[in-house]
Structure 1
Amino acid sequence: MREKSVRSAVPDGSYRFVALDVETACSDTSSICQIGIACVRSDDVIESWVTYVNPRSHFSTFNTRLHGIGPDHVREAPDFSQAIALLEPLLARHLVIQHSGFDRRAIQGAYEELGRSAPNWRWGDSVRIARRAWPEFIGNGGHGLSHLKERLQLDFEHHDAGEDARAAALVVLHAERRTGLSIDALLGR
């Protein structure tokens, strides 16, 4: 499995799937302050992209401690409507993988704040995939990224949207190798 570093431009191509992760400014799931994607090519090379997002809301101390992002980081950043406009064409044509349901809820909430319905993207969940690939982790550390990082020896910085998106992509790739099943089969499609 090979990886590629973070790109300055949004990846534009045909990918097997795109993993997406967000960080939020506070407990309001629509307060997205960072979006990261990891695009997995047919040769399993990962192309990543990340941006800060100005959530136009307050930052809670808890969230800032968790991910290290505060008002100064996002002051000059695009707002959600600007950031997501860059990603919509890519995400509309690919399977979008999240790690748990949080990212999809956050995206839906941010669209609702704009007075728009979220696009009907095809979503998949790398937690579901991990449960299928490593059932022995149920009740034994679970399938969260922190535990999978340790058990699968993944190298990433947790609570950074770009890094967490890449980690979700890596979980899928490891699961495919371990089980011999495709992503679609692992998702039960």
Structure 2
Amino acid sequence: MLTSLPRDDFRFISLDVETSCGDSASICQIGIACVGSDGDIQTWATYVNPLMSFAPFNIQLHGIGPDTVKDAPTFAEVWVDLLPLLSRHPLVQHSRFDEKAIDAACKSQGLPRPSLVWANSVTIARAAWPELKGNGGHGLGNLKQVLGLEFTHHDAGEDARAAAQVVLKAEAETNTAFHHLAGQKSAFQMAFQF
């Protein structure tokens, strides 16, 4: 059982992964940011042994290498504890990479494809700040500067927290609730009670 994994009910959970190489199944770190009804954010992250090699580019990008994960659990070991929490909340990712990586890691390790409800904080940011299109864009790096976010980019826990902050700031900017901003009102309301 994963220690210190949040267990409460949340409005939504942001998720981010880092990978060890060009294979999207090579998750070497998972981070989540759980957003409570009061906007409080609980962040949790763990290293993961990807059971794959590390590419120099990826190591340089996030600083995680074979030595970092040598005693870490595998994705399958992490997933058995993480899935019950994730499956009962709407999830946020910044781009669609994280969803694809989770699906690929499940397939790679012989696990069933999870039935999760995802929203994209890039789409939410585009709705809140359309003026950024062509003016730095809606990536976390530019949003960090424009919105005054403080986080360490390419750390899964930090990036998950940043994506959650983007959603909270978008709600405040547009005076619109998360599930409306996500553009999936009916899917979210059917899957989760708001």
What band does the TM-score fall into relative to the shorter chain?
over 0.9
Q: CA deviation at 1:115?
A: 2.1
1: CA distance, partners of 2:106 / 2:3: 24
Question: Runs ≥4 in structure 1, deviation > 3 angstroms?
Answer: none
What is the TM-score of this pair, normalised by structure 2? 0.93
1: CA distance, partners of 2:68 / 2:14: 23
Counterpart of 1:50 in 2: which secondary structure?
A: strand
**Given the alignment of the two structures, is residue 178 of structure 1 paired with residue 145 of structure 2, yes or no?**
no
The unaligned stretches of length 5 or more in structure 2 are: 186-194
2:67 match: 72
Q: CA deviation at 1:8?
A: 5.1
Counterpart of 2:24 in 1: which secondary structure?
A: coil
Q: Could you tell me the percent identity over the aligned residues?
A: 55
What is the TM-score of this pair, normalised by structure 1? 0.95
Selected match of 2:116 from 112, 115, 121:
121
- Please give the root-mean-square deviation of Cα atoms over the aligned residues, in Å: 1.0
1:162 match: 157
2: CA distance, partners of 1:116 / 1:49: 23
Q: CA deviation at 1:171?
A: 0.2
2:188 match: none
**Given the alignment of the two structures, is residue 111 of structure 1 paired with residue 93 of structure 2, yes or no?**
no
Q: CA deviation at 1:116?
A: 2.8
Letter in 1 for 2:95: S
Letter in 1 for 2:15: L
2: CA distance, partners of 1:120 / 1:19: 16
**Given the alignment of the two structures, is residue 26 of structure 1 paired with residue 21 of structure 2, yes or no?**
yes
Given that 1:32 and 1:106 are in contact with CA atoms closer than 8 Å, whether structure 2 keeps it comes out as yes
1: CA distance, partners of 2:117 / 2:5: 19
**Given the alignment of the two structures, is residue 150 of structure 1 paired with residue 145 of structure 2, yes or no?**
yes
Q: Tell me the matched-pair count.
A: 183
2: CA distance, partners of 1:187 / 1:99: 12
2: CA distance, partners of 1:120 / 1:8: 24
1:92 match: 87
Letter in 2 for 1:103: D
User: Could you give the per-residue CA deviations for residues 154-179 of structure 1, whole angstroms, max 9, x where no partner exists?
Assistant: 00000000000000000000000000
Letter in 2 for 1:36: G
The residue correspondences of 1:35-50 to structure 2 (distance < 5 A) are 35-50=30-45
1:4 match: none
2: CA distance, partners of 1:69 / 1:168: 21
